[in-house]
Structure 1
Amino acid sequence: MAAFQEDLDPIWDDMDRAMGQLFMMGWEGEEVTPQIRSLIADYGLGSVILTAKNLKSAADTARLAQELQIIARDAGHPVPLIIALDQENGGVNSLYDEEYICQYPSAMGVAAAGSPDLAYEVANATAVEVSSVGVNMILGPVLDVLNNAQIQPLGVRAAGDDPHEASQFGIASMNGYKDAGLTTCGKHFPSYGNLTFLGSTLDMPIITETLEQLSLGALVPFRNAINAGLDAIMVGGCAINNKDMNIMHACLSKEVVDDLLRRDLGFNGVVVSECLEMEALNVDIGFRGGCVMAIEAGCDLVLLCRSFSVQKEALSGLKIGLENGMVSVDRVRTSLRRVLKLKANCTSWEKALNPPGLKLLSKFHESHHSLSTRAYDNSITVMRDNNQLLPLSHTMSESDELLLLTPLLKPLPASAATKFLSEGKATAIDHDRWMDRGSIMSGEGVFREFGRQLARQRRGKLLHTSYTANGVRPTHEHLIERASSIIIVTADATRNLYQSGFTKHVSMMCSLPTPTGKKKSLIVVSVSSPYDFARDKSIGTYICTYDFTETAMEALVRVLFGQLRPQGSLPGSLRKVAKAQKSRQAWLVESYSEKDINSLNTLIQTVSKASVPGSPSPLWGATALSFSLSDPAIAEAHFVVRNSSTGALYGFCATYATATIGHIGALFVDPSKRNLSIGHSLYQRALRSLTSRPGLQSIKIGTRLPGIYPGVPSTEGSVPRLRRWLGALLPPAATVSSHQFASCIIQDLHHWSPPEQVVKAVQRLHVDFDLIHGLGAFDDEVAAHISTYGSWEQYKLYTLALADAEACGVVPTQLLETIAPLGFKVLNSFTDLGYSEDEDDEELNEEPEDMPPVKSIATRKQWLEKFRQEGTAIESARMAMKVFEEARQ
């Protein structure tokens, strides 16, 4: 090392040359330009970054790197250039060559495979490939922790949201790079995993976490990688605003670089700034001032990626800062020593001027291709397949049509599609299969080959079209109607919200029963962030591929058709949720008593007010008395979670039992106390109570009266009396009358017919109704009406009820002279008839023949009171359905 320092003495004396070693610069173009030649030869530039815009193929990259090193040698550089590359795999690869460079999963894709050993193998193979073409520094691994993964643009470039998992896979990748001879540069310090974006391009993204929060999460992978021998760290271009710091640009701050990174974390390696060619920095500071600030903050390499004028401005800024004493000579020499030490560990003139090139790449290509296939096969993740739609070969016949719906996306840098577009024509590599450029929209070709592979695999008809922010168009509706199964591809739907809206719309359409009574199958595939629909349980079959490179799509096809058993699991906290049951807090559950009436009324009102705007609460109109049936044939036992100090109720569960059947009729929890296991505690207590009853043979969820009325179309203004009569059944969100409704129990629905008096009464209003059974009767007209005038929960309850044709039916009601229906009503062993107490409604209130025959009720007032209570009680069944899954958690 002493001889090495002696050889470098002349550079240390020539400060222009010394300052050039403190910069890393790039350019645009596939050939050496006069600008990059001048930066190396005239300004002593010591490090170069290559991007996808510089690289055509492996052979061209090796030639280009060699030419750059020759320019440096001929210009008198005592040490070779650092030649750096972003090659993160997945969707972020600068170098692509189908014949020599293999494709591997992204950081999150590798983490999904669950093997740090695989992470090491992938990183090592990547490093062997890029070092073969003259690269000696890789800008990786990514060490960010996705604390807020759903809105972060970093996405699958990071391993996940668990800091220890990010450390484990990051260090494995780092060791893989280093063992192949590359120098490593972890990024993006202190973290890009939880940024706040203000919206303007002139605004820097902001870190709002405190130092304590950062230390416990985001800094963990950096700390561990430093201890494991990380060579360099890139400091991000973001602001920090918390109680400890108020920093405009992290990479320009001494607090971040010298204090936090070097002093607190003990890092003594090279610090690389984020690219300073940022609009926000130009407006706030200027490139000259920014360069001086970066060096003074403690950065050893200042990154400037493209603009020759900006690069010269930064060089002159550092020279001015050195001349006027703002930057000391010692400060320059300190960074210089770190940079030269880094170079000594990763390169030499012999190595730099003689990259092994295609010869070494050919030697390893077969084994690397096998590794690529294995890595993707192990990463593909089937998060859910609730309805067992996979494999498609078992659930689709040859005559069934499969519809593929894909977003319009730009091809990834490392893809045959991008290579074909950049060349503008087909080459010796068979890119013809990717696109006929004149016949498809821009971006559509990305998934065209995927569609062809699907069609070839199933040997059946495949329909494929794209979707955009314009939503579901008539073309989509027509194709969905034709298909029996639909595959929707999404890419970062949490940021591209049109994809989320489109998918949910199609999901709703698929949930509608077809004329045959069978629903269409829907499979959603996320080809980027797995967080798109990770927690959306309405998407029953959900697959994650983590990128949409050709290799990933090939693995996906094998999974879809059962040729490959998916091995991947969701990274970080998502994996833990999937593999380990959530720990639960045990709450004291007590029996309900009369002293709880006021508290229960308060709880009901709280739950009702917390319902989704525009969707009526399932508890609307209910009171504490609604849950007391006062029927000697039915045993009641209700339970509460009570705050014994204040008397407030946090949760309520109603149970009923006959001699042989038990019912959990209602279960709801204070919205502010949900996800704390209160519902689970109530549910378990209810089960123990019911199962302890002698003679009980079965337990059911919900009550015997799931009566729903979704509404009367407001366009029927010509029949105000009818609207008032039927409107008594409506909840507040759609009501035309404030009156409550009553329920009339009919014990044997199959042998029931409306009383003659009732038939005459409604016929005088020119209204007709009928009773229909089964999903076959649930045609588009019924579905459209309920979807329009009811809530999602109501629609689901209709479909669930009608699935049991023996027990349930629908009464459609309509004006005889119109086609448009007035309403539909689910019937179990009962029907609901609306009665108004409005004295002006004489026709319905004063004619005794309109009252249904109920033997045990002596007077109309008693009938109304009795069945009003039961009618509101049955609304609790809807709440049980809506919150049951949540409550059990």
Structure 2
Amino acid sequence: MSALRRLSLVGIATATVLAGVGVSTAQSAPPPELPDEASDTARIAQSIRGMSLEEKVGQMFVLFAYGPDANKPDTRNTSLYGVATPAEVIAKYKPGGWIYFNARGNVESPTQLATYSNQLQTAAVNTGLHVPLTIATDQEQGVVVRIGPPATQFGGNMAHGATRDTADARTAAGITGRELKAMGIRQDYAPVADVNVNALNPVIGVRSFSSNPQLVADMTVAQVQGYQRDAGIMATAKHFPGHGDTRDDSHTALPTINHTLTEWNTIDAPPFKAAIKAGIDSIMTAHIVVPSLDPTGVPATLSKPILTGVLRNQLGFKGLIITDALEMAAVRLQYGDAEVAVRAIEAGADQLLLPPAPDLQFNAVLDAVRSGRISERRIDESLMRILLLKLKNGVLFNPLVDVSKIATTVGTPASLASAQQIVDKSVTLVKNNTSTVPLSAEPRKILVTGWGVSTTQSLANSLAKRGATTTVAQTGAAPSDAAIADAIAKAQQNDVTVVTTMKAWDTTVTDKAAKQQKLVKGLLATGKTVIVVAVRDPYDIAYFDEAPTYLATYGYAAVSMESLAKVLYGEITPTGKLPVDIPVAGNPAKPLYPFGHGLS
């Protein structure tokens, strides 16, 4: 048995026994003293020499399984992996990483997730390898979260950018990170370090802090510090080399970023350089073509000039490189799944996220090593990074969590209050031509209409708390003519209408954009008081600039709607400033409302 295995089993043997009673291994089985980094490296190198090739390759895969319980069969797992339970998936592949999705039945509650994490870790340490998983998720805050309430929710990156407050961004990451850690999640695929310079970007938008590279860099560093230093989990800057200037969604197409080398160094690179300087643990690749960095047309995820040449050699990144999901269309367009897995490793990736054909891709990597196409030394280099991070973040010695501590860690009153205070600073008043905001305290009837079942109801609830009599008429992302007519009729029966829009600029989805624009213009034509609120990207106003009152919240969770209600009723002064330019519709080079704009 290798040295690292002996060391890890010191904590794991106790942890496995205590899993059933929910005792924290942090209290019962502290790791042994390790004198220095060189000693860690030597011990891990000794461990790697004792691993089989199959075990090594397994550590390079980050998998998921359907369902909320490691021991519960699901036929979808059988179709994908040939085995029915998550525990059996772990036994088969011995993966190094695992990822949770709410949309794939993994997430029911924080307590359930903590229990699930312990089940997965027990399955991992009960394999012959005895190496725990690094469990991850995409808890970016804002519009991309996998774990909703009662976990603490925030406004998201662009909301942070609107405040310009790096201390708050760090606080938010620290809270999110501590809650994830309590649930057994030791890596967050956040923060997004992309600079959203394209208002028509369909996949990044408010997931970015700003269109200003320095502001994105500052916020990225703040969140790296929050996740890694304050919460003690791994942060992941994404999506390298920068996904902020595209009109294509890499989930469905292969985007090309036509920045010159000078533009890339000026716009896209600064946040990643800053993250590396701040000690970021991992960086996720982008499935994008950047001809100025690699003129061959190969996606960055599969590009050795980009991952090894630029990220490793030029920028000096020594941490973990993880691919974006290999199930996405962009990276599957040019090559078959087997070739994609091999090429990603050849390019310099350490871990392969969400392989869509696990058996095929696992065996393709094995065959590439056995044939000499990939050297085993190259595999060992990735193993060293993977295991060093597991050691650094305490995964090797304390993989289990104390389920009983969820209630005192996740969604606490103090965390929820901090989140509300942070989000309160982000709401941006873009237009107030008729001085509609703030509303007076007198009783009134308010119609809340537009996008979002929970969003419109949350806003209505917040307004009702302030004495309004509210009616909700949720119309969806592409409202029907009947829904529009109904909303207009209801608006005529109310004193004020608040209409929420969500990507009403997105003309790539013609029905959605046209229908939302039609709804807003129909409401404005009533002559009644109408307040338009963009609850995602702030760019919507370009398509109905005749609206006299317009606000941007950058997020649609209840916490953002409460902040909006506070601004509408004058309880707080709107202090958010646009972290991007809002361009004129059809003329991206001409600002309608510039970066930094915001009324008070």
CA RMSD across the alignment: 2.9
Alignment partner, residue 93 of structure 1 = 145
**Superposed, which structure 2 residues align to 1:162-173 within 5 Å?**
162-173=212-223
Alignment partner, residue 450 of structure 2 = 406
Query: Aligned partner of 2:117: which letter?
Result: A
1:292-348 C-alpha deviation (Å, 9 max, x unpaired): 10110000111116x5xx111111000110111111111111111111111111124
Alignment partner, residue 557 of structure 1 = 565
Query: In the alignment, which of 358, 379, 404 is matched to residue 332 of structure 1?
Result: 379
Q: Helix, strand or coil for the counterpart of 1:292?
A: helix
Is the contact made by 1:196 and 1:207 (CA closer than 8 Å) also made in structure 2? no
Distance 1:63 1:461, change over 3 A: closer
**Superposed, which structure 2 residues align to 1:108-127 within 5 Å?**
108-127=158-177
Is the contact made by 1:191 and 1:218 (CA closer than 8 Å) also made in structure 2? yes
Alignment partner, residue 183 of structure 1 = 234
1: CA distance, partners of 2:389 / 2:187: 10
Is the contact made by 2:445 and 2:468 (CA closer than 8 Å) also made in structure 1? no
2: CA distance, partners of 1:363 / 1:474: 46
Query: Aligned partner of 1:339: which letter?
Result: I
Instruction: Report deviation, 1:202.
Output: 6.0
Instruction: Report deviation, 1:476.
Output: 3.6
Alignment partner, residue 12 of structure 1 = 49
Instruction: Report deviation, 1:480.
Output: 3.6
Alignment partner, residue 312 of structure 1 = 359
Matched, 1:544 2:552: yes
Q: Helix, strand or coil for the counterpart of 1:92?
A: coil
Is the contact made by 1:490 and 1:499 (CA closer than 8 Å) also made in structure 2? no
Q: Helix, strand or coil for the counterpart of 1:351?
A: coil
| Equivalent residues, number | 530
Matched, 1:146 2:196: yes
Distance 1:243 1:160, change over 3 A: closer
Query: In the alignment, which of 17, 39, 48 is matched to residue 2 of structure 1?
Result: 39
**Superposed, which structure 2 residues align to 1:615-634 within 5 Å?**
none
Matched, 1:359 2:405: yes
Is the contact made by 2:201 and 2:247 (CA closer than 8 Å) also made in structure 1? no
Instruction: Report deviation, 1:279.
Output: 3.7
Instruction: Report deviation, 1:555.
Output: 1.9
Alignment partner, residue 23 of structure 1 = 61
1: CA distance, partners of 2:446 / 2:188: 43
Q: Helix, strand or coil for the counterpart of 2:228?
A: helix
Distance 1:87 1:474, change over 3 A: closer
Instruction: Report deviation, 1:532.
Output: 1.5
Alignment partner, residue 345 of structure 1 = 392
Instruction: Report deviation, 1:242.
Output: 5.2
Distance 1:482 1:138, change over 3 A: same
Instruction: Report deviation, 1:7.
Output: 6.1
Q: Helix, strand or coil for the counterpart of 2:174?
A: helix
1:496-538 C-alpha deviation (Å, 9 max, x unpaired): 55565456556655666x8xxxx42221001111122169642
Alignment partner, residue 77 of structure 1 = 129
Matched, 1:479 2:486: no
Instruction: Report deviation, 1:234.
Output: 0.5
2: CA distance, partners of 1:463 / 1:4: 60
Q: Helix, strand or coil for the counterpart of 2:500?
A: strand
2: CA distance, partners of 1:565 / 1:18: 56
Matched, 1:41 2:49: no
Query: Aligned partner of 1:406: which letter?
Result: G
2: CA distance, partners of 1:114 / 1:28: 39
Alignment partner, residue 59 of structure 1 = 111
Instruction: Report deviation, 1:248.
Output: 3.0
Matched, 1:568 2:576: yes
2: CA distance, partners of 1:174 / 1:217: 20
1:115-160 C-alpha deviation (Å, 9 max, x unpaired): 1000010101111111111111111111000010333321211101
Instruction: Report deviation, 1:35.
Output: 4.9
Alignment partner, residue 137 of structure 1 = 187
Query: Aligned partner of 1:391: which letter?
Result: P
1:628-659 C-alpha deviation (Å, 9 max, x unpaired): xxxxxxxxxxxxxxxxxxxxxxxxxxxxxxxx
Distance 1:445 1:337, change over 3 A: closer
Alignment partner, residue 425 of structure 2 = 378
Instruction: Report deviation, 1:39.
Output: 3.8
Distance 1:12 1:547, change over 3 A: same
Alignment partner, residue 642 of structure 1 = none
Instruction: Report deviation, 1:73.
Output: 1.2
Alignment partner, residue 344 of structure 2 = 294
2: CA distance, partners of 1:107 / 1:166: 9
2: CA distance, partners of 1:451 / 1:157: 26
1:5-32 C-alpha deviation (Å, 9 max, x unpaired): 4366354341111111111111221111
Alignment partner, residue 504 of structure 2 = 493
TM-score (ref. length: structure 2) = 0.81
Query: Aligned partner of 1:80: which letter?
Result: P
Alignment partner, residue 27 of structure 2 = none
Q: Helix, strand or coil for the counterpart of 1:488?
A: strand
Query: Aligned partner of 1:356: which letter?
Result: D
Distance 1:162 1:200, change over 3 A: closer
Alignment partner, residue 687 of structure 1 = none
Is the contact made by 1:404 and 1:451 (CA closer than 8 Å) also made in structure 2? yes
Is the contact made by 2:208 and 2:216 (CA closer than 8 Å) also made in structure 1? yes
TM-score (ref. length: structure 1) = 0.56
1:180-228 C-alpha deviation (Å, 9 max, x unpaired): 111111100011111143x997631222222221111011100111112
Query: Aligned partner of 1:494: which letter?
Result: W
Distance 1:109 1:12, change over 3 A: same
Distance 1:319 1:361, change over 3 A: same
1: CA distance, partners of 2:393 / 2:58: 19
Instruction: Report deviation, 1:465.
Output: 4.7
Alignment partner, residue 480 of structure 2 = 470
Report the structure number with the largest CA radius of gyration.
1
Distance 1:253 1:507, change over 3 A: closer
Instruction: Report deviation, 1:233.
Output: 0.6
Instruction: Report deviation, 1:401.
Output: 4.1
Query: Aligned partner of 1:190: which letter?
Result: P
2: CA distance, partners of 1:169 / 1:447: 30
Alignment partner, residue 271 of structure 1 = 321
Q: Helix, strand or coil for the counterpart of 2:560?
A: helix
Query: Aligned partner of 2:457: which letter?
Result: R
1:825-864 C-alpha deviation (Å, 9 max, x unpaired): xxxxxxxxxxxxxxxxxxxxxxxxxxxxxxxxxxxxxxxx
Gaps of 5+ in 1: 410-443, 578-611, 613-670, 676-889
1:529-570 C-alpha deviation (Å, 9 max, x unpaired): 112216964222111111111121122222222223222222
Query: Aligned partner of 1:359: which letter?
Result: K
Aligned-pair identity in percent equals 27
1: CA distance, partners of 2:420 / 2:208: 21
2: CA distance, partners of 1:243 / 1:20: 30
Instruction: Report deviation, 1:238.
Output: 2.0
Gaps of 5+ in 2: 1-37, 74-83, 592-600
2: CA distance, partners of 1:449 / 1:256: 44
2: CA distance, partners of 1:277 / 1:122: 30
Is the contact made by 2:110 and 2:406 (CA closer than 8 Å) also made in structure 1? no
Is the contact made by 2:449 and 2:497 (CA closer than 8 Å) also made in structure 1? yes
2: CA distance, partners of 1:280 / 1:142: 19
Distance 1:225 1:535, change over 3 A: farther
Q: Helix, strand or coil for the counterpart of 2:440?
A: helix
1:257-311 C-alpha deviation (Å, 9 max, x unpaired): 1112112211121110111113454453111111110110000111116x5xx11
Query: Aligned partner of 1:523: which letter?
Result: I
1: CA distance, partners of 2:111 / 2:138: 18
Distance 1:455 1:322, change over 3 A: same
Is the contact made by 2:338 and 2:361 (CA closer than 8 Å) also made in structure 1? yes
